[in-house]
């Protein structure tokens, strides 16, 4: 099929004439009465530590296995000379450290190299803060020399910056130095030498952070990509990692708070979930823990939505009922949920609230939602959820509870769980759909007939996965945009929606497509990111009824591949139209319910259009397919416009 090359969807002709010679898709928008409010939580983000999203991604730490706590203590490190790993360090839950001693000959060296996450990415001139805990166990003064180096380089000298730090005394102390690279390198290493006088030095929790990390925690470009989405809700910490492959590896929020030096690591289930993309050194340092998630919600202006384990290990990976906590033994899990609410909202002198205060946030985080369980199914799930609902309702009637409809977008489990969630009184139900083109094209009206009296919908994980094309590409994103008109039209029942997964390292992914990709130095925002961003930015306050020949515009037969919805935002109107067909379409907006004296004026259009259906953005070409803005000159109660083939357009209008 030959596609029109001109990406500019032009918009055209103002007019008060509602008819035209060509075929016109007449969209009627009723302004008489504002429809359902669109929740501020409507469009959001879902974070899971998959694809090296936390360590190696959003968490700006550059050192892998910084506390020698991986099961193989030197994973991520290369040791040389005389290095021993000891386990009686200063941090109870992370007891390991390295002892560096004199190698016994003036020409030999003792030390450690750290490989980082797919290398250590550093930028010329940017400062990097090196910190570690150290002591000289036999007393006196010792020294270490830290270098950033590239050992694969042909250059005469491998290192390109170095600092020497004196370590003294047999008490553990924190040391700090600044490394400023003289060149940019995506794949450096951190090299540590035991320096003269070669006094034995113990070293622990070796950290390297770029100084531009937001609050010393979040990688700047990735955090910015989240803020720019204007997310209303922030679900964390997963996904399957909430459940764990077994209960021992579930995400335990209590291990993720307090001083970072004392947070025990957790095995990341995405290390081995897909043996064809196996990452033997994928662990969670919990450096990005619940405090950091709550704080990030605050920074980017979204409501936090933590998910806790309901005592069921991943049901995909466990057939035996013995893998799960029996309902009668769920009390500690329920207590974890109650304690989490205290951690987020409790007074600064309460047990868990005081930990939050010590960590730097005496004010509450104002948590309003909690999710219990992820993709669970069978009778097991409602049985496990019930004690949580009872305890949470009793102690915290103000907190909204999010239940789950399982891993499928429809079918037996889905049909079983929805009524169960209603019976239990869940406030929202999390639905997941990673589905092909046809599904997205056929689901524009999915929520039109949902029960208006039941729990609200949280479309908690979704993405268009074309068959055989499980990577990011424009056409899949376009269908997501089309489907989202149905979310918007049904804002009375759909209160939250989050694309998934959020992040992926180009060298460390297990699952795609994803919303934001990066390597060690740069990142790019996919077309799906732009779709989400446009929905977030043009969310509006209330829905407006929009129909074509009296029916919603959701890609039905006779609707020429169009999907559309409209919202009101003060005096502004945002009409979202998605043309999934390969032909440009003439549109006519007919505004009804207006007073005689009122008129509608066009302001601009934002257009995300392309004929490169199977392409996306990339590290090399981050702006291959991005939205463009055009002026939209139009006035009247009927307005003609046009939308190009394969195009998502937002028409911004105002009424006077």
Task: Kindly list the residues in this chain that would bind ligand AHR in the complex (CB under 6 A).
Answer: 48, 50, 238-240, 374-375, 407, 432, 461, 500-501, 511
Q: How far is the CB of 528 from ligand AHR (least distance, A)?
A: 13
The encoded tokens of residue 209 equal 């952070």
Helical pair 474-489 and 527-537, crossing angle rounded to 10 deg: 20
Is there a contact between 292 and 217 (Cβ–Cβ < 8 Å)? yes
- For every residue of 187-238, DSSP letters joined together read EEEEEEEEETT---EEEEEEEEEETTSBTTTB-HHHHHHHHTT--SEEEES-
Element (H, E) at 334: helix 331-345
Task: Output 81 or 407, the one with its CB closest to ligand AHR.
Answer: 407
DSSP at 264: P
Task: Output 235 or 576, the one with its CB closest to ligand AHR.
Answer: 235
Q: How far apart are CA 612 and CA 57, in angstroms?
A: 29
Angle among Cα 652, 532, 455 to the nearest 5 degrees reads 100
Parallel, antiparallel, or unpaired for β 494-499 and 456-464?
Answer: parallel
CB atoms within 10 A of CB 393: 13
The residues facing 137 across adjacent strands are none
Task: Output 420 or 461, the one with its CB closest to ligand AHR.
Answer: 461
**Buried b vs exposed e over 3-14: b needs ≥16 C-beta within 10 Å?**
eeeebebebbeb
- For every residue of 4-25, DSSP letters joined together read P---PPP-----S----SS-EE
Is there a contact between 570 and 561 (Cβ–Cβ < 8 Å)? no
**Positions of E strands within 384-533:** 400-404, 428-435, 456-464, 494-499, 503-505, 516-518, 523-525
Q: How far is the CB of 120 from ligand AHR (least distance, A)?
A: 27
Which residue's beta carbon is nearest to the bound ligand AHR? 239
Task: Output 117 or 251, the one with its CB closest to ligand AHR.
Answer: 251
Q: How far is the CB of 316 from ligand AHR (least distance, A)?
A: 8
Is there a contact between 629 and 68 (Cβ–Cβ < 8 Å)? no
Q: How far is the CB of 250 from ligand AHR (least distance, A)?
A: 12
Q: How far is the CB of 382 from ligand AHR (least distance, A)?
A: 18
The encoded tokens of residue 221 equal 């470009």
Task: Output 407 or 545, the one with its CB closest to ligand AHR.
Answer: 407
Burial of 581 (0-12, 13-18, 19+ CB in 10 A): middle
Q: How far is the CB of 166 from ligand AHR (least distance, A)?
A: 46
Q: How far is the CB of 460 from ligand AHR (least distance, A)?
A: 8
Is there a contact between 390 and 334 (Cβ–Cβ < 8 Å)? no
Q: How far is the CB of 463 from ligand AHR (least distance, A)?
A: 8
**Buried b vs exposed e over 512-546: b needs ≥16 C-beta within 10 Å?**
ebbbbbbbbeebbbbbbbbbbbbbbebbbeebbbb
Task: Output 230 or 432, the one with its CB closest to ligand AHR.
Answer: 432
Task: Calculate the dihedral angle through the C-alpha atoms of 425, 430, 435, 440, rounding to the nearest 10 degrees.
Answer: 70
Q: How far is the CB of 401 from ligand AHR (least distance, A)?
A: 18
Choose among 605, 544, 487: nearest CA to 233: 487
Question: Active-site residue 375, yes or no?
Answer: yes
Choose among 455, 451, 452, 447: nearest CA to 424: 455
The one catalytic residue in 375, 420, 461, 488 is 375
Q: How far is the CB of 374 from ligand AHR (least distance, A)?
A: 5
- Give one word for 461, left, alpha or beta, with left for phi > 0 and alpha for psi -120 to 50: beta
Q: How far is the CB of 121 from ligand AHR (least distance, A)?
A: 25
Calculate the CA 459 to chain-centre distance: 14
Q: How far apart are CA 309 and CA 314, in angstroms?
A: 10
How many helices (DSSP H) and strands (DSSP E) are in the chain?
10, 35
Parallel, antiparallel, or unpaired for β 266-267 and 283-284?
Answer: antiparallel
Active-site positions? 375
């Amino acid at each position: 099929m030959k596609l029109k090359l001109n990406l500019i969807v032009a918009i055209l002709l103002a007019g008060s004439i509602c008819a035209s010679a060509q075929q016109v898709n007449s969209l009627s928008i009723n302004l008489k009465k504002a429809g359902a409010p669109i929740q501020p939580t409507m469009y959001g983000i879902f974070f899971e530590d998959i694809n090296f999203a936390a360590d190696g991604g959003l968490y700006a730490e550059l050192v892998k296995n910084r506390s020698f706590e991986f099961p193989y203590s030197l994973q991520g490190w290369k040791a040389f000379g005389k290095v021993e790993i000891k386990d009686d360090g200063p941090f109870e839950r992370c007891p390991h450290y390295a002892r560096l001693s004199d190698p016994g000959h003036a020409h030999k060296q003792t030390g450690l190299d750290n490989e980082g996450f797919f290398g250590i990415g550093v930028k010329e001139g940017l400062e990097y803060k090196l910190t570690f805990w150290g002591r000289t166990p036999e007393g006196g003064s010792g020294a270490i020399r830290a270098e950033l180096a590239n050992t694969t380089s042909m250059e005469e000298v491998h290192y390109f910056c170095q600092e020497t730090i004196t370590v003294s005394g047999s008490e553990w102390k924190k040391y700090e130095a600044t490394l400023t690279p003289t060149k940019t390198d995506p794949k450096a290493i951190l090299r540590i030498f035991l320096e003269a006088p070669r006094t034995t030095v113990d070293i622990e929790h070796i950290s390297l952070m770029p100084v531009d990390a937001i609050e010393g925690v979040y990688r700047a470009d990735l955090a910015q990509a989240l803020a720019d989405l204007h997310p209303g809700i922030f679900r964390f910490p997963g996904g399957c990692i909430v459940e764990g492959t077994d209960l021992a590896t579930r995400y335990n929020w209590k291990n993720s708070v307090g001083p970072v030096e004392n947070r025990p690591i957790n095995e990341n289930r995405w290390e081995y979930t897909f043996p064809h993309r196996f990452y033997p050194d994928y662990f969670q340092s919990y450096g990005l823990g619940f405090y950091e998630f709550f704080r990030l919600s605050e920074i980017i202006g979204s409501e936090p939505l933590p998910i806790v384990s309901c005592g069921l290990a991943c049901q995909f990976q466990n057939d035996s009922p013995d893998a799960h906590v029996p309902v009668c033994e769920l009390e500690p899990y329920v207590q974890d949920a109650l304690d989490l609410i205290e951690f987020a909202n409790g007074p600064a002198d309460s047990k868990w609230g005081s930990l939050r205060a010590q960590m730097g946030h005496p004010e509450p985080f104002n948590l309003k939602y909690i999710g219990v369980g992820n993709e669970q199914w069978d009778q097991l799930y409602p049985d496990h959820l019930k004690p949580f609902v009872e305890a949470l309702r009793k102690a915290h009637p103000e907190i909204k509870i999010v239940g789950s409809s399982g891993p499928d977008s429809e079918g037996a489990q889905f049909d079983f769980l929805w009524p169960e969630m209603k019976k239990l009184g869940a406030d929202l139900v999390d639905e997941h759909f990673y589905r092909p083109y046809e599904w997205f094209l056929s689901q524009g009206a999915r929520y039109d007939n949902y029960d208006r009296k039941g729990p609200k919908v949280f479309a908690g994980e979704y993405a268009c996965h074309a068959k055989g094309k499980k990577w990011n590409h424009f056409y899949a994103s376009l269908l997501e945009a089309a489907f989202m008109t149905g979310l918007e039209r049904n804002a009375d029942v759909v209160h939250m929606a989050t694309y998934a997964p959020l992040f992926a390292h180009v060298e460390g992914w297990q699952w795609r497509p994803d919303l934001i990709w990066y390597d060690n130095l740069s990142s790019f925002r996919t077309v799906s990111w732009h779709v989400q961003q446009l929905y977030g930015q043009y969310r509006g306050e209330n829905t407006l009824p929009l129909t074509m020949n009296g029916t919603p515009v959701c890609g039905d037969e006779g609707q020429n591949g169009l999907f559309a919805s409209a919202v009101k935002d003060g005096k502004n109107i945002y009409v979202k139209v998605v043309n999934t067909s390969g032909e440009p379409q003439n549109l006519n907006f007919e505004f009804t319910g207006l007073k005689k004296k009122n008129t509608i004026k066009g302001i601009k259009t934002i257009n995300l259009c392309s004929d490169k259906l199977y392409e996306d953005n990339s590290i090399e070409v981050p702006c291959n397919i991005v939205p463009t803005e055009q002026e939209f000159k139009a006035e009247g109660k009927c307005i003609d416009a046009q939308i190009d083939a394969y195009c998502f357009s937002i028409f911004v209008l105002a009424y006077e």
